[in-house]
Each structure stands twice: as C-alpha cells, then as structure tokens.
Amino acid sequence: MIPRTPPSPGHSTAMTITHEDELDGLKIIGRIVANTMHAMAKAMKPGMTTRELDDIGRAFLDQAGAISAPEATYDFPGATCISVNEEIAHGIPGSRVLAEGDLVNIDVSASKNGFYADTGASFQLGRVFPEIDHLCRDGKRAMQIGIAEVSHGKPLANIGNAIGRFASARGYTLIRNLASHGVGRALHEYPEEIATWPSRDTRRIHAGLVLTVEPFLSRGGRWADTHAGDDWTLYAKPKAAVVQYEHTIVATERGSIIVTLPG
C-alpha cells in the first residue's frame, strides 16, 4: 500500500529491531497478512465480486485479531487492496465481478500489538496466459533480486539498481512512482520512497531496519496515475500489463529476514 498523503511527522523515524520480542511481533503480523493474502487468492473464483473477496480477507484479519492498516491509517474504503487487469494498485473492493483469466493483485497490510507488516502478489484467475505467467514469474524474481541486496551497510540504491538490470535485460519496464518504504511501527515510515528502479539514492541500510521490497514490473508501463472520479485506484501509463510482488523484511548484518511468510 502506497500513501496518497505523506506520513505524519510522528511516523518519520525508521523502526530498528533491537530486541528479539520486536522481531517476534513483526513475524506474527507478517504471518497474518501472508496467510490472509494466500487465503484470498485460494478463495477467489469467477463470478465473485471484489467486495466479496475483500470480505474474506477482512474475516481472516478479524479472526487473527489484526487491524487493516490502509483502512485505519488512510480511511481506505476496504480492508485490502484488490486491483484487477488494468488496475495496478489501490483497487477499491466493490461490485466488479472477477472473470476467468483476470490478473488480480492482492495487497494486504495490517497491524497487531503495535506492529505493522505489508505484503502483496499478483495472481492469474483460472485460465493461464503464457505471457502473463512469464511476467508473474519474473515479477516475483525481481522482488527476490531486490531482497538479496538488503544487508547492513549497503546503499538503498542497490535494490533498485539490481532490479533495473534484471528488468532491462529482459525487455521489461518498471513503474517509477510506486516505491518501497519503511514499515514496522506504522504502515509507512522512514526510509520513504525507496526506488525499485535505478537511482542514485545515497542512504544506507543498517542492521535492524524494517522495510518493504515491492517492484512493479511491466510490459511497457512506466508511471502510475488515477482516473477521474476515483482518487485511489492506479493505472499504468502507457497502458500495459503490470505485476507487483511484495515482502516486509528486516535487514541484518548478513542479509535479510522475510517476515511476511505464510505458516
């Protein structure tokens, strides 16, 4: 989930893990959002509305004692973000009916006991189109390549530079105004605007830093923008297929720990 307005000043500092119980708290909410996203993906079927799919996600969060982060933080009109086909992010759950072959992005972020985690992935519903399947596999790979660049002392720019090399070598583009971000004690914290495309960011990663890695890989799209009448839902410009994969991770001296894993 990307903020439509800047985080408040109270959210400007980065969360740094210094105790095992903090990591445990992140792992708990990370597992909850991951389980919720995968349960929604498993439950979706042609003929279901995105509101019905969101209701499933809300029920999972409620059962786990978690609070939808976009709803609580930004008054987003849904428990989760569900973006279909031409929608690439922040899709509002509603009356849209899912159909065979749809490309559906599910983004789940939530909090529990003061800890926040954020995850997302793109799924093909039913029928698999080879070109989109390849895009999905490479989108997940792009995220993994970015995560591999996270460890103590490395520049934040390494994340986007590595993803950029991968994308360019395979003829893909990257959406350049949807960035990764710090997370942990709030949905969006410092460091804000972590590029998942080539940049000259001079900020460095430190051990214990909590952040997301979430590239938006595309077959031609370069920017995200809204359409008239909806200030939330984002679309690719130029119009093109886009996938997004996201994990919340914690930087360490020797790499990173992914906390948004199902279990």
- CA distances (Å), origin 69, targets 58, 118, 143, 147, 196: 11, 9, 22, 23, 22
The annotation status of 181 as a binding-site residue, yes or no, is yes
The annotation status of 107 as a binding-site residue, yes or no, is yes
153/168 Cα distance (integer angstroms): 26
With left for phi above 0 and alpha for psi between -120 and 50, is residue 202 left, alpha or beta? Answer: alpha
Residues 6+ apart with CB under 8 A from 198: 157, 160, 161, 164, 165
Residues 6+ apart with CB under 8 A from 96: 49, 50, 84
The annotation status of 149 as a binding-site residue, yes or no, is no
The annotation status of 11 as a binding-site residue, yes or no, is no
The annotation status of 247 as a binding-site residue, yes or no, is no
> Tokens for 35?
């389980």
The annotation status of 201 as a binding-site residue, yes or no, is no
The annotation status of 24 as a binding-site residue, yes or no, is no
- Residue ranges of the binding site: 90, 107, 118, 181, 188, 214, 246
- Residue ranges of the binding site for substrate: 90, 188
- Residue ranges of the binding site for a divalent metal cation: 107, 118, 181, 214, 246
